[in-house]
Structure 1
Amino acid sequence: MCWKVTMHLTSMLFLMIGCLISGVYAVLKIYSNMIEVIEWEILSMNSCSIVFTLIFDWISLLFLCFVLLISSSVLYYSGGYMSGDKYFNRFMYLVLMFVFSMAAMVMSPNLISILLGWDGLGLVSYALVIYYSNEKSANAGMLTILSNRVGDVAILLSIGLMVKLGGWNFLYYIYNMNDGQWLGFNLLIVLAAMTKSAQIPFSAWLPAAMAAPTPVSALVHSSTLVTAGVYLVIRFNPILESTYAQSVLLIISCLTMFMAGLGANFEYDLKKIIALSTLSQLGVMLSILALGYSDLAFFHLLSHALFKALLFMCAGVFIHGSGDYQDIRFMGCLVKFMPFSVVYMSICNFALCGFPFLAGFYSKDMILEVALMSWVNFICLWMYLLAVGLTVTYTMRLIFYSMSGEFNLNLLINVKDTNNLMTDPMVMLGLGAIVGGSCLSWLMFPEPYMICMSGIMKSSIMVMMIIGGLIGYICNLLSVNNSLMSLSNYFWVVFMGSMWFMPILSSMKNSEVIMKTSSLMEKVGEKGWLEYFGPQGLYWKLAQLFVIFNEFQMNKVKVYMKMFVLSMLVVLFMYM
């Protein structure tokens, strides 16, 4: 027991020290406007050299500061949440490996070293998703790693396309890659970001990854794995401006934002509701990135990480105290039994909705105003407004079912806030959810944005929030009638509640077709024509040719006699 306590406390201490150092260093870089790059040459071949590079600028250092802050809180929180687990040490090592992989990706401007951190995130996330050894976790882990593998292949192909530049450090070449020849490279970067940040059609893995322990969800779905794709697009934003890839990203991210907000209103699993809200906010970040505002996307990325990690921690306390129930219909009236956790849960929910002067307000309100002020089409405009209303709707639904309402738990369950290891780290993140947005806005935007829009456009955001809150509250009060309406419109409820059938399309229905197609391609291709004209066929042809050459090298008389006879026949044939 002593080893467990020592491990999570020492890990938290070292990560917190790293967080303070990187935070101070980031502030210095912001005010000095300098970038430091460190390179180690690993291998040199002809004109290309494989170099391990680290970049120290304000973006990487500030992001690393937030990653280490949330990781230290999650590790301390894990000491209480996972205290009874048999393989506690293994869990802690996996989380530390995950943090190290994220740090390696954040601090690298080189595509090859980015791939090391990128692959490390995918591999360790698979190990964490299947941490609980059951069939559901195994299926979720397989869906997670296969979806992320598409992004890994896109990074590998983009590495191949950068060979002609003579290096893989995009920091040196990024402003020379704006012509039309790099459209394929741009699309590959966007594809990699879409898979990691779970945009349509790769959205199914994000709610499925909730099979992992709750501390993992607090870390993975706030500041590490899902934000890696957003961070990659922020780094490559100069080459994506005014390209076809940027338009594709805008449409897909707006669809994802709307789809996730709609699906969260039909979900009853507490962790999946929060996962879908994460998916919706990822759509917000990528959509504003597609409009060209990388600084706003990074601002929302950092502020969202603070309250979303705290939201998962509060959900873990609710689940832990409610007898391991995750269905919000089995909760209720928790405000009387867990007032401390409910206060922080309410702060997170209000920050998520963009309540004035909380962390989410400063970034989300600015993003929405800039988006409404930009040249976006009518459909994307309405998707932004509907996503705002849907966020408030599922937040009111979550508050109604879990924190207020009637007490629906088992009478033998003792629900209370007693575990200090789980509640203490919530204080620090709660403070960040309250003042983090304002501090970041003062730090990142010393000069304010110029917002010019009509009164109707300005008030439309607040109107949609009020309408969404009223709809959410009224639908929850009429829960009986709502369930009867759900039965009468069964197809549409299932369609919207299952993320537009995306989990089914990603796993069950098309798996048989894909397996049969791949088997046919293997028989006809890899074991058929490709085998005949490919490596094996080339091997046998070369082997026969080498036998002929060997006959010549052995200076056999019969060979030369055969050649003489053949040459004489050819000459006779030509003169006949």
Structure 2
Amino acid sequence: MLWIFNICFVSFFFLLVSSGVLIGCGVLFVMKDLVYFVEWELFTINSSLVVMTFLFDWMSLFFLGFVMFISSMVIFYSSVYMAHDEYVNRFILLVLLFVLSMGALIVSPNLISILLGWDGLGLVSYCLVIYYQNIKSYNAGMLTALSNRVGDVAILLAITWMFNFGSWNYVYYVDCMVDVVSMKLICGLVILAGMTKSAQIPFSAWLPAAMAAPTPVSALVHSSTLVTAGVYLLIRFSPVLQESRLWVFLLFFSAMTMAMAGISASHEFDLKKIIALSTLSQLGLMMSILSFGYPIMAFFHLLSHAMFKALLFLCAGAIIHNSSDWQDIRSFGAMGVVKPLTGVCFNIANLSLCGIPFLAGFYSKDLILEMFMLGFLNIFLCGVIFVSTGLTVFYSFRLLYYSMSGLFKAQSCGGYSEDEEVMLWSMIFLTLMAVSVGCLLEWSLFSSFEVVILPWYMKISVLFTCGSGAYLGYLVGMLDISILPIGLVSHFSHFFGGSMWFLPYVSTYGGSVSPLVLGNFYLKGMDQGWSEFFGGQGIYDITQNGAKILQLLQDNNVKLYLMTFVVWVVLVLVITLI
């Protein structure tokens, strides 16, 4: 156990110091507008250089610093949360591999090295999702792996097509891709990869299923690593995205993802799944503003969302850890009384997710929604985005009511405590960041402010949306009623909305089972059938029979066979002449 504590402490200290250095360097790079492109020659074979390239600019340094800070808090938190696990050392090493893969993806300007980090994220995430080794974890891990393989294949096809330009360093070709029609195919493949990794429709089912992983892993995955990799890659390719006209396609599907996640979370009672669906909603918001032509705002919301979402998961993990692994919010209550400090951190994270003024989420979400109103966006998509934002506040306040009010209803003989100081310190550090990171990032990223001038009714529409969503969420939680009408239509609507618009059924039965059944048929009929008869097995049988004949000839007297052959020839001639 002492060795485990040492590896946790060393990893925590190294990641925390590295995050401070990287964020400080990011501020310096912003102020001086610096970009460093580093090529590291690994080895040379017959005058062919094999080099590893790194891109250090303000965006990669900021993002890498945030990833390391959140990872340090998660590892520090895990030293207590996972202390009773027999294989906690394996868990810590997997988390470190996860961070290493994300770091490789962030600083890579090369599609080949991006694929290394991309596949590393997929492989390690599969190992973490199946960590508890039960049927639910195995099914969730398989769904996660198969869904993300679509994006991996898209990256491979983009690498193949980009070979036409002589190099895989995409940063050299982002500007010229705009004018080359054939290179827009790469943009389409990258969009497909980003949609799978960031779980946009129709690849959304794997994200709530990945909740089978331990809660510290969920905090890391949903804040700054796996699901944000697709958004980050599309931010890098944003100049091509705007010129290729594929942004309309991405805008529509990301807005639908926001609406689907908000409706599904409003029907959900599982604590971790509600937070996972809120991540899906925020990813849709990032993709929407990115496709609308504002990549810096998408990156701004990506960083601010990372802090309060990691805090939200760590608070949820502390509540679940102290509730005998119970996750149904209807059984919670009085968290602010029995766990006051955890309740404060949980409320701050939830309010920041809602975009309450002067918390981290407010600075990015309010600006994004105002830019939507300022731009040329049709009334349908604008309405979908605003309703989805209201639904975010709705299910957040519904969750707050169920978890904070009333009495604790899960166990008749049980109690809460806040004895785990390590877990509390992790949540306190993230709470401080969730409060202050919004204004700090706005001062750092936007050196010159542009005034957004809108009519008064459009200015207050964001506050009205948040206020109405908060009131309805509190009312629904207090009255314990469904938000839908009573009757048969209510049952269908509840089933449709609560099942993520049937996407898990499509992904499981239509997306996974059918290809597996067809693959089994192909395996039996082709690989183990005709291919074996005419392929490797057939060649093996012919070779084996020929070798047996040759061996028989070598083991016996050749003269005997020659004499037998001559006798047979003579007999044939005699019979023929007669």
User: TM-score scaled by structure 2?
Assistant: 0.89
Partner of 1:98: 98
Task: Supply the AA of the counterpart residue of 1:75.
Answer: I
Partner of 1:75: 75
Partner of 1:560: none
User: Cα offset for 1:520?
Assistant: 5.2
Task: Supply the AA of the counterpart residue of 2:304.
Answer: S
The DSSP-based 3-state class of the residue aligned with 1:39 is: strand
Task: Supply the AA of the counterpart residue of 1:250.
Answer: L
| Structure 1 gap ranges (5+) | 541-576
**Cα separation, 1, equivalents of 2:386 and 2:377:** 13
Partner of 2:156: 156
Task: Supply the AA of the counterpart residue of 1:183.
Answer: K
Partner of 2:459: 458
Q: Contact 2:484–2:490 (CA<8 Å) still a contact in 1? A: no
Task: Supply the AA of the counterpart residue of 2:306.
Answer: A
How is 1:154-193 mapped onto 2 (pairs within 5 angstroms)?
A: 154-178=154-178, 179-193=180-194
User: Cα offset for 1:127?
Assistant: 0.4
**Is the alpha carbon distance of 1:325 and 1:231 closer, same or farther for their aligned partners in structure 2, counting shifts above 3 Å?**
same
**Cα separation, 2, equivalents of 1:176 and 1:523:** 48
**Cα separation, 1, equivalents of 2:302 and 2:429:** 18
**Cα separation, 2, equivalents of 1:148 and 1:370:** 32
Moved more, 459-468 or 79-88: 459-468
Partner of 2:357: 356
How is 1:77-476 mapped onto 2 (pairs within 5 angstroms)?
A: 77-178=77-178, 179-476=180-477
**Cα separation, 2, equivalents of 1:101 and 1:527:** 37
CA-based RMSD of the aligned residues comes to: 2.4
Moved more, 414-423 or 434-443: 414-423
Q: Contact 1:332–1:406 (CA<8 Å) still a contact in 2? A: yes
User: Cα offset for 1:427?
Assistant: 1.2
**Cα separation, 2, equivalents of 1:502 and 1:70:** 31
Q: Contact 1:183–1:245 (CA<8 Å) still a contact in 2? A: no
The DSSP-based 3-state class of the residue aligned with 1:114 is: helix
Task: Supply the AA of the counterpart residue of 2:199.
Answer: A
User: Cα offset for 1:528?
Assistant: 9.1
The DSSP-based 3-state class of the residue aligned with 2:53 is: strand
**Is the alpha carbon distance of 1:482 and 1:21 closer, same or farther for their aligned partners in structure 2, counting shifts above 3 Å?**
closer
**Cα separation, 1, equivalents of 2:403 and 2:510:** 34
Moved more, 293-302 or 474-483: 474-483
**Is the alpha carbon distance of 1:532 and 1:449 closer, same or farther for their aligned partners in structure 2, counting shifts above 3 Å?**
farther
Deviations 1:70-93 (A, max 9, x none): 000000000110011110100000
Identity of aligned residues (%): 50
Q: Contact 2:184–2:240 (CA<8 Å) still a contact in 1? A: no
Partner of 1:35: 35
**Is the alpha carbon distance of 1:292 and 1:528 closer, same or farther for their aligned partners in structure 2, counting shifts above 3 Å?**
farther
Moved more, 62-71 or 171-180: 171-180
Q: Contact 2:289–2:298 (CA<8 Å) still a contact in 1? A: yes
Q: Contact 1:200–1:256 (CA<8 Å) still a contact in 2? A: yes
Moved more, 373-382 or 343-352: 373-382
The DSSP-based 3-state class of the residue aligned with 1:452 is: coil
Q: Contact 1:307–1:348 (CA<8 Å) still a contact in 2? A: yes
**Cα separation, 2, equivalents of 1:165 and 1:464:** 48
Q: Contact 2:484–2:493 (CA<8 Å) still a contact in 1? A: no
Task: Supply the AA of the counterpart residue of 1:181.
Answer: S
Q: Contact 1:5–1:79 (CA<8 Å) still a contact in 2? A: yes
Task: Supply the AA of the counterpart residue of 1:279.
Answer: L
**Cα separation, 2, equivalents of 1:285 and 1:142:** 27
- Tell which structure's C-alpha radius of gyration is larger: 2
The DSSP-based 3-state class of the residue aligned with 1:80 is: helix
Task: Supply the AA of the counterpart residue of 2:243.
Answer: S
Task: Supply the AA of the counterpart residue of 2:274.
Answer: I
Number of matched pairs: 539
Deviations 1:153-198 (A, max 9, x none): 1111100011011100011111111132223211100000001100
**Cα separation, 2, equivalents of 1:377 and 1:48:** 53
User: Cα offset for 1:453?
Assistant: 2.0
How is 1:494-509 mapped onto 2 (pairs within 5 angstroms)?
A: 494-508=495-509
**Is the alpha carbon distance of 1:175 and 1:74 closer, same or farther for their aligned partners in structure 2, counting shifts above 3 Å?**
same
Partner of 1:558: none
**Cα separation, 2, equivalents of 1:234 and 1:47:** 35
The DSSP-based 3-state class of the residue aligned with 1:225 is: coil
The DSSP-based 3-state class of the residue aligned with 2:55 is: strand
| Structure 2 gap ranges (5+) | 541-578
**Is the alpha carbon distance of 1:527 and 1:48 closer, same or farther for their aligned partners in structure 2, counting shifts above 3 Å?**
farther
**Is the alpha carbon distance of 1:294 and 1:510 closer, same or farther for their aligned partners in structure 2, counting shifts above 3 Å?**
closer
User: Cα offset for 1:527?
Assistant: 8.1
User: Cα offset for 1:529?
Assistant: 9.8
**Is the alpha carbon distance of 1:148 and 1:47 closer, same or farther for their aligned partners in structure 2, counting shifts above 3 Å?**
farther
**Is the alpha carbon distance of 1:49 and 1:297 closer, same or farther for their aligned partners in structure 2, counting shifts above 3 Å?**
farther
Moved more, 510-519 or 251-260: 510-519
The DSSP-based 3-state class of the residue aligned with 1:40 is: strand
**Is the alpha carbon distance of 1:485 and 1:370 closer, same or farther for their aligned partners in structure 2, counting shifts above 3 Å?**
same
Task: Supply the AA of the counterpart residue of 2:120.
Answer: G
1:13 correspondence with 2:13: yes
**Cα separation, 2, equivalents of 1:512 and 1:223:** 31
Partner of 2:2: 2
**Cα separation, 2, equivalents of 1:98 and 1:36:** 25
Deviations 1:393-444 (A, max 9, x none): 0001101111213321202222121111111111111011111100010011
User: Cα offset for 1:376?
Assistant: 1.5
**Cα separation, 2, equivalents of 1:482 and 1:389:** 14
**Is the alpha carbon distance of 1:232 and 1:358 closer, same or farther for their aligned partners in structure 2, counting shifts above 3 Å?**
same
Q: Contact 1:129–1:209 (CA<8 Å) still a contact in 2? A: yes
**Is the alpha carbon distance of 1:44 and 1:523 closer, same or farther for their aligned partners in structure 2, counting shifts above 3 Å?**
farther
**Cα separation, 1, equivalents of 2:30 and 2:487:** 53
How is 1:519-538 mapped onto 2 (pairs within 5 angstroms)?
A: 519=520
Q: Contact 1:249–1:290 (CA<8 Å) still a contact in 2? A: yes
Q: Contact 1:47–1:166 (CA<8 Å) still a contact in 2? A: no
Q: Contact 2:177–2:184 (CA<8 Å) still a contact in 1? A: no
**Cα separation, 2, equivalents of 1:367 and 1:495:** 29
**Is the alpha carbon distance of 1:528 and 1:368 closer, same or farther for their aligned partners in structure 2, counting shifts above 3 Å?**
farther
Task: Supply the AA of the counterpart residue of 1:123.
Answer: L
Q: Contact 1:49–1:167 (CA<8 Å) still a contact in 2? A: no
Q: Contact 2:146–2:512 (CA<8 Å) still a contact in 1? A: no
Q: Contact 1:323–1:413 (CA<8 Å) still a contact in 2? A: no
User: Cα offset for 1:475?
Assistant: 1.5
User: Cα offset for 1:510?
Assistant: 5.6
**Cα separation, 2, equivalents of 1:50 and 1:248:** 38
